[in-house]
Chains A and B, each alone.
Chain A
Amino acid sequence: MSSRRVCQRCSTLPASIQRAPAPLSARIAAKRCFTLSRTKQPSKSPSDNPPLQNKRRLSSLESQGQRASSEYVAPPASQQPSQSPHEDNSRLLLKPDNLFHSFSNSPSPEIRRRAAFMKQNAYCPHPAHAQTRQPIGPHDLEARKTGTHPPAHVRYECPDCGIPVSCSYEHFADDYENHLDICDQLREINEDDHDLRSGRFFPEFEYPGPQLEEAQVNMTNWDTLLYTREFNAIDNERSLRQATRLLTYPITIGSVIHELSPYNIQSGGRLTPEGLKSMTLRYTLHPPRSGAGMTVAGLRPNPPPTRLFILGARAESSLPREVWIQLVHLFPRAIFHLIFIGPESMANRDAEFPLPPRTASNPFGAVVEDRISGQMKISTFVEYYHTLHAAGAFAPYDPYFDAFVLFHPGLGHPASSHEWAETIPQLLETKVPVICTGYTEYDMQRDIKWVHDTVGGEVDMLLEPGENRFRSLRWDLNDADPSDVSCGNFGLWAFRGKRYETTRKDVE
């Protein structure tokens, strides 16, 4: 499953890419090839110190990113639409009606490895055990543990969902009501994971190109968006879940900054008047027509690109670039510069190592991908944001062009909040909108509370916290704690440093 293979698409790459001689372009071409060279574990945490909760965020999205690309590559039949997907049964590991397997007895070796990891790292949540870590919140099952039994790793797999959830049958039977709450979801996760590794043809990972500007996009929900964006019809719910898990990242950003955004200032719309004032990005993203053309007479001055700084980037920086290009296709006449910043921003991108040398023109050794599209450039910095801010690497910030995006940053999470303590005040000082997402409602509220506590009210809310319309529909399992299920970008909110139009000066 980890053999090196070049996909058919690369063998038919446009000649311009094939002629590119520089090693940087070769690296980018290798990226576009989506070769199967990556063999990283989906959960790479053997060197972690406890608690393993902080690695929850390195969820199996990475495996999705690499698996999706590998599965996208695997069947050469993908290029011939006439070939029925059922003809090539020899490639199928699992038929669609045979997707439920217990994790320990799974036909896929990767899932068996995950089951082994769970059995070595996850603890049984029964209240009779002693606590192994501080409970993260009131809903955390760890808070119920008041007993004195030594903590035991999970061993017993639930027969209905196939995931090891208890240390023994007795504890499982005792705690069955709690397990029933999530058993259905766990079963769905189980089937989706097996589906991703089943070797079938994935029509849902074929994305459409740019569309006519007058054919406007409807952002009410996933179905209307996919329909108006001219995606191929995704009838199967499982396929829809697989597709939205990747697309949630660009579409969440797009849904906030687009002028047809579903968030508005009416009473249920969640956008505040300050938020509307901050959406000045829309002036740049939807520019008036300037009479530009392809000839010399049609030359017009163009504004600089919209910069989206994605801080604390982990799995999202390794998303296939075709997924990020979907953001560009929502905005016909705008250009983008996506900047991934974070110590883990090269996660799952081993093919692109070593990083470029630090030179005067590239002082932080950023990986720059500028051959993706005429409208998008992606840079990746393996640094903390506060280092770059202090160095003035991106100054000046302009709310007409810049926005910060934080995908489940874990601002209030005890394992990661210290890393954000220096960055958040700097973000507020730029007065540029910051769009934030969270894994769960509790996660989001904790982040908001942490921000308010850290900066003491110098924050304007732009978007009231709530469920993201374009969240991932597929739920993810935390390998270190099987009862913890979350979905990508579940909650969405936005904030900005408080702007004072006029301030009072005490005259005494």
Chain B
Amino acid sequence: MSRSEVVTMVLGRRLPQSSYYDKDFRPSASLYRARQPYLVKNAFTGIAMLGFAISVYTFTIRAVSQDEFEDVKVPDAPVEAPPTSSAVAQ
């Protein structure tokens, strides 16, 4: 009565698996038919979402990469001080 058919045999035990996938875990013909009314709409939605994500990244990176950093003065490397006489006097 349950929808899953008992298919694979692992170590002598059977794992339940939906009958809508064949033994290689690929969708079966009936699953493709069931998905068919939504294929095109889902594909467009997926492309739209991917496009939106890519455009957000692109815009952000382009906006951030336009920054100019020439006015930031990089300080000189610190000068090494010679050992002082006070250390010797102690």
**Chain A residues near B33 (CB-CB < 8 A):** 223
- Contact mask B24-60 → A, CB, 8 Å, 1/0? 0000111101101100000000000000000000000
Q: Please tell me which stretch of A127-135, A156-164, A232-240 contacts chain B, meaning at least 4 of its Cβ atoms lie within 8 angstroms of it.
A: A232-240
User: Given A208-B1, A220-B37, A233-B20, is A81 in contact with B30 using a C-beta cutoff of 8 Å?
Assistant: no
Contact A224 B3 (CB under 8 A): no
Q: How far is the CB of B54 from chain A (nearest CB, A)?
A: 32
Chain A residues 404-437 with CB under 8 Å of chain B are none
Tell me if A227 is interfacial: C-beta within 8 Å of chain B: yes
Residues of chain B at interface, number, CB under 8 A: 16
Q: Assuming A82-B6, A224-B37, A235-B30, what are 12 further A-B pairs, CB within 8 angstroms?
A: A208-B1, A221-B37, A223-B36, A224-B34, A226-B30, A227-B30, A230-B3, A231-B3, A232-B3, A232-B5, A233-B30, A235-B29
**Contact with A227, one of B1, B2, B6, B31 (Cβ below 8 angstroms):** B31
Interface residues on A, range: 10 to 19
Tell me if A209 is interfacial: C-beta within 8 Å of chain B: yes
User: Given A208-B1, A208-B3, A209-B1, is A233 in contact with B28 using a C-beta cutoff of 8 Å?
Assistant: yes
Chain A residues 193-231 with CB under 8 Å of chain B are 208-209, 220-221, 223-224, 226-227, 230-231
Q: Find the B residue at minimum CB distance from A221.
A: B37
Contact B34 A232 (CB under 8 A): no
User: Given A208-B3, A235-B28, A235-B29, is A226 in contact with B34 using a C-beta cutoff of 8 Å?
Assistant: yes
Interface CB pairs A-B, < 8 A, 16 = A81-B5, A81-B6, A82-B6, A208-B2, A209-B2, A220-B37, A221-B37, A223-B34, A224-B37, A227-B20, A227-B31, A230-B2, A232-B3, A232-B19, A233-B19, A240-B30
Q: How far is the CB of B30 from chain A (nearest CB, A)?
A: 4
- Contact mask A80-91 → B, CB, 8 Å, 1/0? 011000000000
When A and B form their complex, which 6 residue pairs have the shortest distance between CB atoms, in order from nearest? A227-B34, A230-B3, A233-B19, A223-B33, A223-B34, A233-B30
**Chain B residues near A81 (CB-CB < 8 A):** 5-6
Chain A contact residues: over half helix, strand or loop, or mixed? loop
**Contact with A223, one of B1, B6, B19, B30 (Cβ below 8 angstroms):** B30
Q: How far is the CB of A193 from chain B (nearest CB, A)?
A: 23
User: Given A221-B37, A224-B37, A227-B20, is A234 in contact with B5 using a C-beta cutoff of 8 Å?
Assistant: no
**Chain B residues near A235 (CB-CB < 8 A):** 28-30
**Chain B residues near A82 (CB-CB < 8 A):** 6
Q: Find the B residue at minimum CB distance from A207.
A: B1
Q: Find the B residue at minimum CB distance from A229.
A: B3
CA distance A221 to B35 in the complex (A): 11
Interface centre among B2, B20, B30 (most CB of A within 10 A): B30
CA distance A221 to B30 in the complex (A): 12
Q: How far is the CB of A472 from chain B (nearest CB, A)?
A: 17
CA distance A99 to B16 in the complex (A): 33
CA distance A234 to B28 in the complex (A): 9
**Chain A residues near B29 (CB-CB < 8 A):** 235
Q: Find the A residue at minimum CB distance from B32.
A: A223
Interface centre among A81, A221, A223, A234 (most CB of B within 10 A): A223
Q: How far is the CB of A383 from chain B (nearest CB, A)?
A: 36
Q: Find the A residue at minimum CB distance from B6.
A: A81
Contact B1 A233 (CB under 8 A): no
**Chain A residues near B30 (CB-CB < 8 A):** 223, 226-227, 233-235, 240
Interface centre among B5, B20, B29, B33 (most CB of A within 10 A): B33
CA distance A487 to B40 in the complex (A): 30
**Chain B residues near A223 (CB-CB < 8 A):** 30, 33-34, 36
Q: How far is the CB of B32 from chain A (nearest CB, A)?
A: 9
CA distance A144 to B18 in the complex (A): 53
CA distance A231 to B6 in the complex (A): 14
Chain A residues 217-274 with CB under 8 Å of chain B are 220-221, 223-224, 226-227, 230-235, 240
**Chain B residues near A240 (CB-CB < 8 A):** 30
- Contact mask B49-77 → A, CB, 8 Å, 1/0? 00000000000000000000000000000
Q: How far is the CB of B38 from chain A (nearest CB, A)?
A: 9
Contact B6 A233 (CB under 8 A): no
Interface centre among A224, A230, A233 (most CB of B within 10 A): A233
Q: How far is the CB of A330 from chain B (nearest CB, A)?
A: 16
